[in-house]
Structure 1
Amino acid sequence: MKTKLTESNQKVYTQEEAFEASLKYFNNDDLAARVWLNKYALKDSDGNIYEISPDDMHRRIAKEIASVEAKYANPMSEDDVYNLIKNFKYIVPQGSPMAGIGNPFQIASLSNCFVIGNNGESDSYGGIMKIDQEQVQLMKRRGGVGHDLSHIRPKGSAVKNSALTSTGIVPFMERYSNSTREVAQDGRRGALMLSVSINHPDSEDFIDAKLEQGKVTGANVSVRIDDAFMKAVKNGTDYTQKYPIFSEHPKVSKLVDANSIWKKIVHNAWKSAEPGILFWDTIINESVPDCYADLGYKTVSTNPCGEIPLCPYDSCRLLAINLFSYVENPFTSKATFNFELFREHVAAAQRIMDDIIDLELQKIDNIMKKIDADPELDEVKATERNLWLNIRKKAEEGRRTGVGITAEGDMLAALGIQYGSEAGNAFSLEVHKTIAIEAYRASVHLAKERGAFAIFDAEREKNNPFILRLKEADSKLYYEMLEYGRRNIALLTIAPTGTTSLMTQTTSGIEPVFMPVYKRRRKVNPNDKEVRVDFVDEVGDSWEEYVVFHHRFKQWMEVKGIDTDKNYSQDEINDLIKKSPYYGATSNDVDWLSKVSMQGAIQKWVDHSISVTINLPSDVSEDLVGELYLKAWEVGCKGVTVYRDGSRSGVLISNEEKKEEQNDTTLTAFPTKRPQVLEADVVRFQNNKEKWIAFIGLIDDQPYEVFTGLADDEDGILIPRWVTEGLIIKNKDEEGNTRYDFQYKNTRGYKTTIEGLSHKFNPEFWNYAKLISSTLRHGMPIDKIVDLINSLQLDSASINTWKNGVGRALKRYVADGTKAKGQQCDNCKSENLIYQEGCLTCKDCGSSKCG
């Protein structure tokens, strides 16, 4: 298939063309190329691709931003913008802005995150359902959502309906969580943050909700903790919970042991990495927008990752500055940080962010037109329409931005400074202080050129701690702000930069490097020329082991003249790391208390918040987690999350080992009669050089049936590679025989792609698939089914290949952290193996096998 033209003479590229071009763009970084192609390349709903590499994307974005610039004084040109964003080198619009700017094929928002709510006033069913609908409407437009549940009356409270008493918070947590899991967003699921105040009488139930298996799986949860509670914890005193929270005349009031609840929070975080903690008084007292709380800017919750506290119906767009790119002569004795260029680019980043708000307003207008044109009754559309009217008002009135960073870990390493050291913390603080001053200066200058945000009032902000720090650091900036105002109500954040950092090929956000060097394996054909077979697994597949270097670690090697093509042993890798600036500075090496102190210091110069995780080894005590949380509060963090190695692997019913073991074999209660329509995942994989495809029918996101076999043009199994989900429908053919059809959605609705799905594969495959589907329908745990498949003794070579394929497809549904019993690591012979993202991973040496 060759490049073709649409009716409008717009080039359309094949998957292969775009992948090869982007692979070349990213210097053979397969992961970066696939992430860009799958998530950010311009494509329509039929899978036509209109950009061949990220360079086309950057031109698209530059053109749109320049069109906004042209409306204002001293505009940047398209080339000016392009030179700032090209190659992911300096300024990187994140997520929704990258995917959505200049994209005519999606009617979606450019905001990464939203907070919704009833201003803490309504806990009626109508108000609760309204939030549910708003959440879904935002998620279908690609947004992550947060909202607070502190307005819901506690369990057992009187209500004037047939229930007589309230069910409390937890059932509504489940409702909102389930809604999140229902909404697909271009191949991913929506993201949700649920929060509650520790002052709420149901907060203890909230804290425990996620420990029950299968509950609230579609949301992150965080507890809003006030200073009074933290002081009660420190002093060992009681604490009063109320409903309404903090009311002078509460309907419900109870005295609780603060330390008892604190220990529960700490235990659950140690056990499962949740709940996160939001230090609410710090958030509110430091918040510049809360100076306008009576005008609708009272902060009520945060976005899903916690870095943007927001008022109801406000939203934020994110952008990252690549800190590594400002290090000149990296990894040499002459390495320096170019603060002059950095200051210039921070100002440009803030300007671009303000332009993106104008583009967002255009996007919201398009959403409104779509809603108005929809055929539903006005009363059906009313909630969605009012939602976007409220969001538009906040975006236009406050013009909130989210300038952040990535590559903090690589920046320090390139300068020869150890992450987490005193010198490292001091340098990072200087960088973030510079960002704050220059971004605010840029916002003041934009106010002079374009006008201040609509409700700016210097008198309201005069006692805000963040504004006072700016005044002390740069009095000229402060007095200019008094004269001209500021263009944006709040400006700064530090967000996680997962896919962004894959494309910048740097460490993520403010985090240190996770692992500078690791080993991976790839399956090889032993009959190919010049192939190296490092080991043969239990099913006879041959594997080559190879070393993967973190991109900037590899750059350090090249600077030092170290061979990057050699196949290093583990001992040699360890020696390399010891010689590098990354030694002692990985996520598992960094002193945890030092990292918390660093976060607290930097937080003073970030007007929103910071998304950061403290990584801990599996053997740390609960007391240490409590100590880190307490330290975070004392040093001024706005929030904190800890992750103990292995703790996120699964949620448990109880603390008793016996019950955990029993849980491993509990059967799921699937319906005895197969529903006519099932949602389905499409899974593609390769066995040796054969391309395979699997259709996995799902109930409650769990496999219920499987169809799998060779992907073959002649049999019509090949469907567009962008299709990752659809429907499997049970039908009857003309003779009354049962058949299963697969449909996927395109611009014209659902399209039947394969009739008689079962008959499209080798009948021998189908017979075994029926056996596997039967075990799935009876709820046997997936890891046990994979073991069963692996144990089948089959004579046919093709059936053995099928066996490997269906096992690989199903492994994707094994819960992360499930132990693989009776197997050894091929690398170090350890039996400490778990499933991690569908791959068998050794917890001792880190090696992974997918297949």
Structure 2
Amino acid sequence: MKKVTYSYDEAFNASLDYFGGDELAARVWVNKYAMKDSFGNIYEKSPEDMHRRIANEIARIEKKYNNPVSAQEVFELLDHFRYIVPAGSPMTGIGNEFQVASLSNCFVVGLDGDADSYGAIMRIDEEQVQLMKRRGGVGHDLSHIRPKGSPVNNSALTSTGLVPFMERFSNSTREVAQDGRRGALMLSVSIKHPDSEAFIDAKMTEGKVTGANVSVRIDDEFMECAIADKEYVQQFPIDSKKPAFEKTIRAKELWEKIVHNAWKSAEPGVLFWDTIIRESIPDCYADLGFRTISTNPCGEIPLCPYDSCRLLSINLYSYVVNPFTKDAYFDYDKFRKHVALAQRLMDDIVDLELEKIERIMEKIKADPQSQEVKGAEYHLWEKIYAKSGKGRRTGVGITAEGDMIAAMGLCYGTQEATDFSVNVHKTLALAAYGSSVQMAKERGAFEIFDAKREMKNPFILRLKKEDPQLYDDMVKYGRRNIACLTIAPTGTTSLMTQTTSGIEPVFLPVYKRRRKVNPNDTNVHVDFVDEVGDSFEEYIVYHPKFLEWMKVNGLDTEKRYTQEEIDEIVAKSPYNKATANDVDWLMKVRMQGAVQKWVDHSISVTVNLPNDVDEELVNRLYVEAWKTGCKGCTIYRDGSRSGVMISMDKKKKKEAAGDLQPCLPPEVTEVRPQVLECDVVRFQNNKEKWVAFVGLLNGYPYEIFTGLQDDEEGIVLPKTVVKGKIIKNTSEEGRSRYDFQFENKRGYKTTVEGLSEKFNPEYWNYAKLISGVLRYRMPIDHVIKLVGSLQLKSESINTWKNGVERALKKYIVDGTEAKGQKCPSCGHETLVYQEGCLICKSCGASRCG
């Protein structure tokens, strides 16, 4: 039977009605989650169709077991995202016959045995790409790679260390993530590794390792040495009793570098590794293949090699009865019932995932490539299939904690709110594990369950203390899932639940959007703005749950209040002093540590700080996180990483703007310095390999040279050369010449003379034109627009022009609006530059290149 299709407008309008007029939620759902085929045909009209699809598939699995839950019961849990919210991969993939993809959100890869070889590194690189193309985020650890300067048995003689391989894995992510495909990567390393300092510094170089999150695995010994200012021994291999290499460092100095880099650039994150391993239930089975080695990109799922996890969130706000009133209470009975069902649904999704993996493997078998080409991918999925079936790991989490706390009349960050939150999470853990034990009784325990292995695990002992009967039943019947819980960032799904995500506080109860003044244009351009252009008007938007509080308290939600009136209203609300910029940061970290004791995996949470905090506060927060039992911590300081966290405080921005002199032209250096730092950017022009040399003055592009890379007339450079210097020399006759000089890994300098002589004169003239524009400081996005608008005669030079655009894009400040350009997915002029790529702020689509 032919499936019914819907136009974009039909789906959007139906979804708009579903979400009660929330245009952003409707657009996100249509663009990211509505079932589509590869030709863009839409097969679902609104989220109701999606939830029916998911419910029917889960009910099909339920029929395999005793006491099956019906499709209607599942649908009622999912409908309007009220109680249970599957994460993006399950939501997109369950019952989707048009997509051959995994339902897992996250994976970790890593080879057994000695993986310190080029063959092993390239195998990991391939496995990373194969998983990302199926929509998975990937994590892997680099502690197995020998440190820089170690002897190797090949022509290089010595090892390059970790950093070049960080760039390799990062570049693979950027490649596979193009055109809106998912491609998130976590790279980690042990602090015990002698190259950990170089790893920590790698992202401090702008433009480097832009396709990966990086985190350092920090052990208790290092933290103790850092606090007491003692020496710490690094070694390779990191776990060897007879290491081949040892290095003694002052732990405090390296710790201060971690703190400084986190303060300055929001990375690295830290993973408190001994806490993770000590608390990990899967590590009770480490010798059976479940030894945790890294985490997924957001850090909330520590995983062993080739294990994966599917995610689901429970909407905590929905269990508050009489929200925002003095009679508000939390319905623990309904919550326990729904948590048990959520754990059951997650176990069903494991079965659905195994079916998906079987389909992936069948597709690989049918692919026309040779066995040599596709064998590695097939074996990868064999390993994942085996590990997923053996442990049946799940990731039940929560969303809307901040809204739940506000609805209960509590203030986020206070001890009272933290105590309440911990009780909710304890209830969740007991109900989820009770459900897993009941399923073991009905369906069978996970394959390698052994109560004796787990008897000293701290998390299991907490369950035993709170519910002895649950523990006795677990010993008797086993457990269906090796681990059950996490708290993941819910991202765009929070837009559709119209709540805050994870255990984060609300960012702003009141904020601003802008809308085109043209009354015939109904498209809302979601943006936080301070300055309003002629074609836009500014209007107030309320956080949906803040709006509910207003209604409960009899406030007119249609009135256009003055800023002073809004400030007064917010001050009286439960969101006052509870936003991300207001909370007591130390209290927030303590809350994370307290909640962590009832989460068997980990918690993805960030601490958002104002720009003016000092490094000592970052240090205190990290130390407090370790002491209170957090498994990891990430800190973002306002402005520390462009496009990551940008303050929306209009008053502060205006005060800062008052210190500037916008009428003055940018500072121009007309006389070129003899020596300029230089970036090397490679690109293709009509299948020919070209190279661009971008001269930099104070980090800003000042000039550009481009030419062919070949063995005779062109420019010959090692592939590892990405930086150097452009030196201007003058001959005795007064003729200028530009030379490129670079330094190899042994410190020897090589000079390529006469860059200008190696160019086709026509390309050279255009390059001089572009360099002149750069020299006089036209904004980079305007330069790119100018280059793109050049009407050039030959196809070859037009292709060259595209390469020049790509070379310059990396220098655009993250967050810069691509004015006049429309998103190819949703059609809105809401594109911004992020790390050289265009990202749509309305629908999340991305385009690189």
Q: TM-score under structure 1 normalisation?
A: 0.78
Partner of 1:616: 609
- Code of the aligned partner of 2:265: S
Matches within 5 A, 1:802-841: 814-816=812-814
Q: Tell me, in whole angstroms, the C-alpha distance in 2 between the residues paired with 1:14 and 1:368.
A: 33
| Secondary structure, aligned partner of 1:12 | coil
Task: Measure the CA separation in 2 of the matches of 1:246 and 1:73.
Answer: 46
Quote the residue 1:135 is aligned against: 128
Q: Give the Cα–Cα distance (whole angstroms) in 1 for the partners of residues 515 and 837 of structure 2.
A: 13
Amino acid at match of 2:591: M
Query: How many Å separate the matches in 2 of 1:418 and 1:538?
Result: 32
Q: Check whether the contact 1:667–1:778 (CA below 8 A) recurs between aligned residues.
A: no
Give the drift of 1:229.
Answer: 0.2
Contact 2:136/2:182 (8 A) holds in 1: no
Provide the residue aligned with 1:88 in structure 2.
81
Is 1:428–2:417 an aligned residue pair?
Answer: no
Where do 1:665-680 residues align within 5 Å? 669-670=680-681, 674-675=685-686
Q: CA deviation at 1:525?
A: 2.9
- Matched residue SS, 2:685: coil
> Who is 2:779 aligned against?
784
One-letter code aligned to 2:67: N
User: What aligned pairs does 1:465-484 form with structure 2 within 5 A after superposition?
Assistant: 465-484=458-477
Does 2:381 correspond to 1:388?
yes
**What value does the CA root-mean-square deviation take over the aligned residues?**
3.4
Deviation at 1:119, TM superposition (A): 3.4
Counterpart among 624, 628, 634 of residue 631 in structure 1: 624
Q: Secondary structure at the match of 2:216?
A: strand
Task: Work out whether residues 146 and 193 of structure 1, in 8 Å CA contact, stay in contact via their aligned partners in 2.
Answer: yes
The equivalent residue for 2:156 is 163
8 Å CA contact retained: 1:276, 1:639: yes
Amino acid at match of 2:583: V
Contact 1:114 1:145 in 2 (8 A): yes
The match for 1:683 is: none
Aligned to 2:225: 232
Aligned twin of 1:722: none
| Structure 1 residue 214: Cα displacement | 0.9
Equivalence map 1:250-649=2 (5 Å): 250-525=243-518, 541-649=534-642
Q: Distance in 1 between matches of 2:223 and 2:12?
A: 52
- Separation (CA, whole Å) in 1 of partners of 2:521 and 2:366: 59
Residue of structure 2 equivalent to 1:59: 52
Output the amino acid matched with 2:310: R
Q: Single out whichever of 31-40 and 771-780 deviates more from structure 2.
A: 771-780
Contact 1:461/1:467 (<8 A) preserved = yes
Separation in 2 of the partners of 1:79 and 1:540? 50
- Residues 670, 778 of structure 1: 8 Å contact kept: no
Contact 2:510 2:541 in 1 (8 A): yes
Taking the aligned partners of 1:463 and 1:64, their CA distance within structure 2 comes to 38
Q: In the alignment, residue 87 of structure 2 is paired with which amino acid?
A: Q
Q: Tell me by how many angstroms 1:543 deviates.
A: 2.3
Of 144, 163, 172 in structure 2, the residue corresponding to residue 179 of structure 1 is: 172
- Kindly indicate whether the alpha-carbon contact (under 8 Å) linking 1:224 and 1:277 is maintained by their aligned counterparts in 2: yes
The answer to whether the 8 Å contact 1:278/1:638 transfers is yes
Aligned residue identity for 2:106:
C
- The alpha-carbon deviation at position 380 of structure 1 amounts to 1.4
Shift of 1:815: 2.7
TM-score normalized by the length of structure 2: 0.78
Kept after mapping to 2: 8 A contact 1:12/1:49:
yes
C-alpha contact (below 8 Å) 1:181/1:189 kept by paired residues:
no
* Matched AA of 2:150: S
Q: What is the CA-CA distance between 1:816 and the residue it aligns to?
A: 2.1
In 2, Cα distance between the equivalents of 1:458 and 1:548? 53
Q: Structure 2 counterpart of 1:169, which letter?
A: L
Deviation at 1:704, TM superposition (A): 14
Please say if residues 667 and 781 of structure 1, whose CA atoms lie closer than 8 Å, have aligned partners that are also in contact. Answer: no
Match for residue 113 of structure 1?
A: 106
* Preserved CA contact (<8 Å) 1:278 1:640: yes
- Structure 1's 75 and 253: CA in aligned 2 closer, same or farther, altered over 3 A? same
Alpha-carbon offset, residue 675 of structure 1: 4.2
Name the CA distance, whole Å, in 2 between partners of 1:150 and 1:71: 43
Cα 1:522–1:197 change in 2 (3 A) is same
Give the AA of the match of 1:366: R
Give 1:17's aligned residue: 10
Distance between the aligned counterparts of 2:668 and 2:607, measured in 1? 29
Per-residue deviation, 1:383: 1.1
Distance 1:783 1:604, change over 3 A: farther
Give the C-alpha shift of residue 522 in structure 1. Answer: 1.8
Aligned counterparts of 2:231 and 2:786: Cα–Cα separation in 1 = 57
Contact 1:208 1:268 in 2 (8 A): yes
Give the match for residue 237 of structure 2: 244
SS of alignment partner, residue 779 of structure 2:
helix
**More deviation in 363-372 or 514-523?**
514-523
- Cα distance in 2, alignment partners of residues 636 and 204 from structure 1: 25
Give the Cα separation in 2 of the matches to 1:190 and 1:274.
19
1:215 CA drift (Å): 0.7
Change (3 A) 1:618 1:450: same
What does residue 45 of structure 1 align with?
A: 38
* Runs of 5+ consecutive residues of structure 1 not aligned to the other structure: 1-7, 652-659, 679-702, 706-769, 795-806, 821-833, 841-851
Note if contact 1:667-1:779 (Cα within 8 Å) is conserved in structure 2: no
Q: Take 1:107 and 1:447, find their aligned partners in 2: how far apart are those partners?
A: 30
For residues 53 and 673 of structure 1, do their structure 2 counterparts lie closer, same or farther at Cα, with a shift above 3 Å needed?
closer
Q: Is the 8 A contact 1:783 1:811 kept in 2?
A: no
Q: Which runs of 5+ in 2 are unaligned?
A: 645-666, 690-703, 707-764, 790-804, 819-831, 839-849
Paired with 2:218 and 2:776, the residues of 1 have a C-alpha distance of 38
Opposite residue 272 of structure 1, the aligned amino acid is: S
In the superposition, relative to structure 1, how do residues 198 and 538 fare at CA in structure 2: closer, same or farther (>3 Å)? closer
Call closer, same or farther: CA 1:783–1:262 in 2, change over 3 Å: farther
Alignment identity in percent?
66
Aligned in 2, Cα 1:91/1:772: closer, same or farther, shift over 3 Å? Answer: farther
Aligned equivalent of 2:189 = 196
After superposition, the C-alpha distances for 1:826-847 in whole angstroms (9 at most, x for unaligned) are: xxxxxxxx9889999xxxxxxx
Residue 381 of structure 1: how far off its partner (Å)? 1.3
* Secondary structure class of the residue paired with 2:577: coil
Task: State which drifts further: 517-526 or 280-289.
Answer: 517-526
Q: Per the alignment, do residues 781 and 185 of structure 1 end up closer, same or farther by CA in structure 2, a change over 3 Å counting?
A: farther
Whether contact under 8 Å (1:108, 1:142) holds in the other structure is yes
Secondary structure of the residue aligned to 2:536 is strand
Call closer, same or farther: CA 1:80–1:594 in 2, change over 3 Å: same
